[in-house]
Structure 1
Amino acid sequence: MRALQYTAVGSEPVVVEIPTPAPGPGEILLKVIAAGLCHSDIFVMDQPEDSYGYGLPLTLGHEGVGTVAELGAGVSGISIGDAVAVYGPWGCGTCHACTLGRENYCTRAAELAIAPPGLGAPGSMAEYMIVDSVRHLVPIGDLDPVRAAPLTDAGLTPYHAVQRVLPLLGPGSTAVVVGVGGLGHVAIQILRAITATRIVAVDLDDERLALARSVGADDAVRSDAGAADAVRALTNGLGATVVFDFVGAQSTIDMAQQVVAIDGHISIVGIHAGAHAKVGFFLVPFGASVVTPYWGTRSELMEVVALAHDGKLDIHTETFGLDEGPTAYRRLREGTILGRGVVVPG
């Protein structure tokens, strides 16, 4: 089979021919229909050799949707041909967090060398992939696979971030979404679907700000030197109840700390090496909290899929063939993909 792999530190990914894997006991072989690109992949490929820890060669892709092609011994509860999405943050399945479905916060994954697909284990940028357990598959029914693949991260991650602070987002509140990319444009739709908050989108790009308005943002602010003042003005000087930073650069984290309200909340979702928040008295408003949520729970992925079935989520995608994968990652790095890039191996 063909796969898109990262083969050497500092190199671009390449399409290679590798053996089609066979499922072992408890495992499932998935025929991949669609696989999403993510800035986390760029983060992985930008790691220097002395800190890279994801294994080589690495088949990329942690957003995957496909059909069940083969079942390993002992697998039940799923059938050949079923259309499913892959829940990515694999855990041990037995610790307290995992038994609650919160495998994204598994306490033993590192100890047991359990890695997510595309972030240590072979991922979904291939014609086939192995899924380690039936509990990591969520049925998608008749959803479009291309639009469903990003639900597993670009949908699940913002949904989890919003759910953590849902009680704060009632009438009269303001949520600021920084970065209207693959995750940010979905976050706006999630906020519109399950909260009563006012939504302010912040981005550098006019096309993305237009996208933000089209999917439900009440206001759109250019991310420049005047952005913090503009957000403050929109909130009558009170600041934002919640800031969701889907960029995670030092400049956006600093802006989040400038605009968050007293007793507000900052959720740093985007990852940039070296960027950090400075927390302490007089560094953030009194009562404000700062968190770094990670991915989401299995039950939350089911809820995201349900929102998509109800027509509440319209994932903007640009598709690429597997051979176009290297070009797609270059486009992702350049910031020229509107919404989410999705590779279709077939």
Structure 2
Amino acid sequence: MRAVRVHQYDNPPTIDDVPDPRVEGPLDVLVEVNAAGVCRTDLHVIEGQWADKSGVRLPHTIGHENAGTVVETGSAVTNVRVGDRVILHPLVTCGLCRPCRAGDDVHCENSAFPGIDTDGGMATYLRTNARACVVLDEDLPPAEVAALADAGLTAYHAVRKAVPLLHPGAHVVVIGAGGLGHIGIQCLPAMSPADLTVVDRSAEVLGVAEELGARETVLADGDQVEKVLDLTGGQGAHVVLDFVGEGGTEQEGIAMTRDAGSYFVIGYGGALGVATIDVISREINVVGNLVGTYNDLQELMALAARGRVRQRTRTYPFDRALEALDDLDHGRLPGMRAVLEPVPL
């Protein structure tokens, strides 16, 4: 099969011919990859940011946002059949450890993460397990939802955690309306009555945010903190969801958060530098957000099937995988996600 492989960090990957994966265990599921999302984390993998955390040996196949068709299953698999179209939770989990039994499978103690610490899905086939497979509604093509497997799932997970804090009359700010943020923007009106303000540096992207349900938009032109404070009566937002997490949004997000409010960190790459006395005196919460659980992915697919959440995508044939990565790296995908089609339907 063909696969997008990283041979040396900080160098472009190549499309290689490699052996097909095989079903080995009773819960294994072999999926023909019809769609593979292109994520900024893939760029971070290529840059070597995950080298120490993942411990993988190069060459390594990237890709952790995958959807496709089941082509083979292990002997104990009962929840999917050959021919089913599925979206894959990015983690392959054990189901036996305490986090899994508590429904917190994203913190599985025995997980594998295709595309991060084992070979991923920018390839013809991907081996996962039965616990990762969510059967798609027949009206949801893999290419339209593949990127929801991580970017969308991460956004949904953060919004779901924030919803109990967002009563009628509350104010929520979203920083960054790009590939992750535009999913969060759709989830918020579907799940919360709070007033929504979106902050982004692109006027074009802010126009999309208005179409998706933002009540107010703020152009990040240097005065965004003051503008958000004006919109919130000088107090700041009850919840700030930062889908950027670098380039100064860390400090801005804290400044936009009202006393006793919560700043949710979703994007990454920067660093937090908050004086502990400010955390205490203002009684603010800083909340980390990893990718969502399997149940989160099921719920997100339910919203997608009802038309409440749509992923804005640009599809690429598999031969143009490097072009897709380059387009993402150079900001040529405003407010949308790139999706490769290793085996088009």
TM-score using structure 1 length: 0.94
Choose from 245, 248, 268 the match for 2:245: 248
Q: Which residue of structure 1 aligns with residue 106 of structure 2?
A: 104
Counterparts in 2 of 1:191 and 1:137: CA distance versus 1, 3 Å? same
**How far 1:96 sits from its partner (Å)?**
1.4
Question: Does the 8 Å CA contact 1:43/1:271 hold for their aligned counterparts?
Answer: no
C-alpha separation in 1, matches of 2:132 and 2:7:
26
Quote the sequence identity (%).
35
Choose from 170, 187, 192 the match for 1:190: 187
Question: Does the 8 Å CA contact 1:250/1:276 hold for their aligned counterparts?
Answer: no
5+ unaligned residues in a row in structure 2: which ranges? Answer: none
Bigger mean CA offset, 332-341 vs 295-304? 332-341
Q: Which residue of structure 1 aligns with residue 22 of structure 2?
A: 22
Q: Which residue of structure 1 aligns with residue 66 of structure 2?
A: 64
Query: Aligned AA for 1:124?
Result: G
Question: Does the 8 Å CA contact 1:263/1:285 hold for their aligned counterparts?
Answer: no
Q: Which residue of structure 2 aligns with residue 92 of structure 1?
A: 94
Q: Please tell me whether residue 301 in structure 1 is matched to residue 303 in structure 2.
A: no
Choose from 275, 279, 283 the match for 1:287: 283
Q: Please tell me whether residue 79 in structure 1 is matched to residue 76 in structure 2.
A: no
C-alpha separation in 2, matches of 1:141 and 1:167:
28
C-alpha separation in 2, matches of 1:208 and 1:128:
34
**How far 1:51 sits from its partner (Å)?**
3.7
C-alpha separation in 2, matches of 1:49 and 1:33:
26
**How far 1:179 sits from its partner (Å)?**
0.9
Q: Which residue of structure 1 aligns with residue 35 of structure 2?
A: 34
Query: Aligned AA for 1:165?
Result: A
Matched length = 339
Choose from 146, 166, 171 the match for 2:168: 171
C-alpha separation in 2, matches of 1:252 and 1:147:
29
Counterparts in 2 of 1:210 and 1:55: CA distance versus 1, 3 Å? farther
TM-score using structure 2 length: 0.94
C-alpha separation in 2, matches of 1:317 and 1:279:
40
Q: Which residue of structure 1 aligns with residue 323 of structure 2?
A: 327
Q: Which residue of structure 2 aligns with residue 218 of structure 1?
A: 215
Q: Which residue of structure 1 aligns with residue 233 of structure 2?
A: 236
Tell me the SS of whatever aligns to 1:318: strand
**How far 1:282 sits from its partner (Å)?**
2.1
**How far 1:92 sits from its partner (Å)?**
3.3
Counterparts in 2 of 1:260 and 1:213: CA distance versus 1, 3 Å? same
**How far 1:232 sits from its partner (Å)?**
0.4
C-alpha separation in 2, matches of 1:216 and 1:234:
17
Bigger mean CA offset, 88-97 vs 64-73? 88-97
Equivalent runs, 1:103-142 vs 2, <5 Å: 103-106=105-108, 108-109=109-110, 114-131=111-128, 133-142=129-138
Q: Which residue of structure 2 aligns with residue 152 of structure 1?
A: 149
Q: Please tell me whether residue 44 in structure 1 is matched to residue 27 in structure 2.
A: no
Q: Which residue of structure 1 aligns with residue 314 of structure 2?
A: 318
Q: Please tell me whether residue 12 in structure 1 is matched to residue 12 in structure 2.
A: yes
**How far 1:37 sits from its partner (Å)?**
1.0
**How far 1:55 sits from its partner (Å)?**
3.1
**How far 1:283 sits from its partner (Å)?**
5.2
Q: Which residue of structure 1 aligns with residue 159 of structure 2?
A: 162
Q: Deviations over 1:160-195 (max 9, x none)?
A: 111112111121111111111111000000001110
Question: Does the 8 Å CA contact 1:260/1:285 hold for their aligned counterparts?
Answer: no
For the aligned residue pairs, the C-alpha RMSD in angstroms reads 1.7
Q: Which residue of structure 2 aligns with residue 337 of structure 1?
A: 333
Tell me the SS of whatever aligns to 2:252: helix
C-alpha separation in 1, matches of 2:255 and 2:280:
8
Question: Does the 8 Å CA contact 2:315/2:339 hold for their aligned counterparts?
Answer: yes
C-alpha separation in 1, matches of 2:275 and 2:146:
36
